[in-house]
């Protein structure tokens, strides 16, 4: 459900779509925080060779800031993967 916290792991085609709009659409939250490791991984080959596939983890969490109008936000982190073959979207159990 979109009203609860959740964790998803999925493969994103970075060349096809813009970061924030895509993650807002997947997780249903307007607030998106992108981890610096993801930005570094996407720009390792510079602007001319942005990687097609990137494995990311989307964590929808409750916002601790009381002044924020949105009660949920999405944290996007990079998951290092060597081979993308047979990887699918996975809902991860929270610890």
Q: What is the CATH number of the domain that holds 18?
A: 3.10.440.10
pLDDT at 18 over 70: no
| DSSP annotation string for 70-89 | -SEEEEEEE---S--TT---
Higher pLDDT, 58 or 19: 58
Span 38-71, pLDDT tens digits: 878 777 777 667 777 788 888 888 888 777 788 8
Lowest mean pLDDT among 20-24, 34-38, 49-53, 71-75: 20-24
What's the total number of domains in the chain? Answer: 1
Q: Does residue 93 lie within any of the structural domains?
A: no
The Cα–Cα gap between 87 and 71 comes to 31
The Cα–Cα gap between 5 and 27 comes to 10
What domain range includes position 56?
Answer: 6-83
Percent pLDDT > 70 in the chain is: 76
Q: Does residue 95 lie within any of the structural domains?
A: no
């Amino acid at each position: 459900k979109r009203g609860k916290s959740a964790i998803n792991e999925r493969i994103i085609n970075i060349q096809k779509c813009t970061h924030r709009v895509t993650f807002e659409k997947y997780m249903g939250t307007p607030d998106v925080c992108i981890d610096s490791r993801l930005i570094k991984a996407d720009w390792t080959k510079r602007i001319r060779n942005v990687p097609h596939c990137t494995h990311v983890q989307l964590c929808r969490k409750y916002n601790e800031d009381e002044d924020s109008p949105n009660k949920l936000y999405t944290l996007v982190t990079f998951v290092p993967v060597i081979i993308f073959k047979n990887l699918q979207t996975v809902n991860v159990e929270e610890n």
